[in-house]
Structure 1
Amino acid sequence: MKTRRITRERLVPHTLDGKTRMVPDDEVIEIPLPPRDWDQLALNTVTVIVTLLVSACVVWSTVSIGDLLSRVVVEPAAYGAAAVFDLAWIALMIIEWLARYTPARGNKARIGGYVALIVAMGAVGTHGWLAGDAATGIVGAVVSGLAKGTWTILLDYQAMPLDKRTAAFLQQELAEAGAELSRVPVRRRVTRARALVEAERRALEADRGSADPGRADESADDPDADVLAIRPGAVSTKDAVRIAWDSDIRDRDAVIRYVAKATGRAPSPDTVDRYLRALRIGA
């Protein structure tokens, strides 16, 4: 069995002058090597070969179709458009691979990939026919077909087969995750809309308050302006704190001033704080 040597660090006791400490020390050990995975090596080799085939196909098709289109347009535009023919079916093939766990979603990409391949092969064949060499055009078109076919077989081999129930389960998982993701922009829009409504409401209230002649002598900073006046001494400290809280008065000093005005006597700050804490917990 093959092994390989590795060096690792460990703590060992070391004593000097009767004093022992744990110090780092290097240890060389041998561990067994796993057997070579020839299947994975072969798959990696095939993947490299197919990648080279696709690259050669793109170059061949681009040059061939670009020469065909350069008869009517300038060369940069012609070769740029020519690259689209093969890149289209390559992109659709990648989408088909991404949808391997939900085959129904990959049907359109699969059909579109074959359509794009046929168009590319037709363009390459047309170039050879117009150039006066039909055989070259046919062979060039077959290059794209071989590259596409080989890559499709490789992707089908690497895609794990799923039974019907497992595919349905994964479909539901993806649907649930998609629903959660779709709620993010919706919540963002709802929050923005509510913020706009609240800003407009406050603006309208401010305009209405400044235009009210009966409130001209009230200070805008007076927290008691929106609180209904009551007869001093008619309520308890607890009731006065509750009324201030319900009137959206949250500042402690403002609440104390209102309680003093409502009850006719200065309240205990500790008592007011206790009632406010209870209201905050209840809210």
Structure 2
Amino acid sequence: MKTRTVRRSRLVPHTVDGRTEMVLDHYDVEAPTPPRDWDRIVLTAVTTIAGLIGAACIVWSTASIGDLLARVVTPPAAYAAAVVFDLAWISCMALEWLARYDQARARLPRRAGFAALAVAMGAVGVHGWLSGWLVIGVVGALVSGLAKGLWTVVLAHHAKPLDDLTQQWVDAQRARAGGELAMVSVRRELARARAAVDAEEETLRRTPDPTPDTPEDEADAPETPELPTVSGPMTIADAVRTALSSGISNPDAVLRYVRKVADANAKEESVRRTLRGARSAS
């Protein structure tokens, strides 16, 4: 059995000048060497090959489609647009890789990837046909098809579909997390709306009167008698006499004063009768 030297560490007490501290002690042990994981090595090699083929496919398609588009636009713009044809289906494959545990979510990017691949292969074939080399155009189009086919097989090997019950549990957890994430945006929106309302109300409270009273207006305004202060409990009659002595003679004003200082439920007829009696007595 093959072995290998493995360095490990452990805490040991170490004393210097009477003070003990726990320090790391490094030591070597002989551990069995695990066998090579040839499955992982082969899968890594195939994935690397697929990546190299994808890069070569991008170069070939870009050169072919770029030359096709350069017939009507400037070469820089033509080749920049040509890159989009292959990057579209490669991006769809990346999304399919991210959804490798959820076949339902991977279905849409897989179909979109094949649609984008068909467009790219058609463009390469058209370039060969217009150049007078239809066979070369067909063969060149197959380069993208082979790259996509290889990546489809690799992604299928990497995919780990979940069973139905586990998939439902994952969907429920994803929906709950998505709802919480959506509520963050909703709460932020509500906070902005409340802040705008508070600012508007604060502005309205602090806005001065657009037509303030001028000294001339104050001089022309009729003088309003100042209500007398209350020094203790008062009856309706006392309140009526106090109002008259303070210059309040309007029956409605007297009624309001009586209800304020004497009896909040004072009847209007009683107050008016008391007011007439107070006037006749004076």
Common topology (TM > 0.5): yes
Q: 1:204-231 CA distances to partner (integer Å, 9 max, x unpaired)?
A: 2334799999xxxxxxxxxxxxxxxx99
Name 1:49's counterpart in structure 2.
49
Name 1:190's counterpart in structure 2.
190
| Mapped partners of 2:89, 2:200: distance in 1 | 52
Alignment of 1:107-146 (within 5 A): 107-146=107-146
> Post-superposition shift, 1:153?
1.1
| Mapped partners of 2:13, 2:162: distance in 1 | 56
AA aligned to 1:51 is: G
Q: 1:82-138 CA distances to partner (integer Å, 9 max, x unpaired)?
A: 111111111111112222333333333222111111111111111112222222111
Q: Are 2:103 and 2:161, in contact at CA under 8 Å, matched by a contact in 1?
A: no
Q: 1:10-54 CA distances to partner (integer Å, 9 max, x unpaired)?
A: 45567899x695665442222222222111111100100000111
| Inter-CA distance 13–159: structure 2 relative to 1 (3 Å threshold) | closer
Q: Please, what TM-score do these two structures have when normalized by structure 1?
A: 0.68
| Mapped partners of 1:16, 1:201: distance in 2 | 72
AA aligned to 2:206 is: A
Alignment of 1:11-160 (within 5 A): 25-160=25-160
Name 1:225's counterpart in structure 2.
none
Stretches of 4+ moved more than 6 A in 1?
Answer: 13-17, 208-213, 230-233
Alignment of 1:175-254 (within 5 A): 175-207=175-207
| Inter-CA distance 44–231: structure 2 relative to 1 (3 Å threshold) | farther
AA aligned to 1:161 is: P
| Inter-CA distance 5–210: structure 2 relative to 1 (3 Å threshold) | farther
> Post-superposition shift, 1:190?
0.3
| Mapped partners of 1:74, 1:118: distance in 2 | 25
Please report the RMSD computed on the Cα atoms of aligned residues, expressed in angstroms: 2.9
Q: Are 1:13 and 1:20, in contact at CA under 8 Å, matched by a contact in 2?
A: no
Q: Are 1:7 and 1:29, in contact at CA under 8 Å, matched by a contact in 2?
A: yes
AA aligned to 1:107 is: R
| Mapped partners of 1:206, 1:27: distance in 2 | 77
| Mapped partners of 2:202, 2:106: distance in 1 | 52
| Inter-CA distance 11–172: structure 2 relative to 1 (3 Å threshold) | closer
User: Structure 1: where are the runs of 5+ without partners?
Assistant: 214-229, 234-283
| Mapped partners of 2:130, 2:210: distance in 1 | 83
User: Structure 2: where are the runs of 5+ without partners?
Assistant: 214-228, 233-282
| Mapped partners of 1:152, 1:95: distance in 2 | 12
Identity in percent: 54
| Inter-CA distance 30–125: structure 2 relative to 1 (3 Å threshold) | same
Q: Could you tell which deviates more after superposition, 39-48 or 20-29? A: 20-29
Q: 1:257-276 CA distances to partner (integer Å, 9 max, x unpaired)?
A: xxxxxxxxxxxxxxxxxxxx
Match status 1:165 vs 2:176: no
| Mapped partners of 2:168, 2:8: distance in 1 | 48
| Mapped partners of 1:231, 1:20: distance in 2 | 84
| Greater Rg by CA | 2
Report the secondary structure of 1:27's partner residue: strand
> Post-superposition shift, 1:9?
4.2
Name 1:251's counterpart in structure 2.
none
| Mapped partners of 1:128, 1:99: distance in 2 | 36
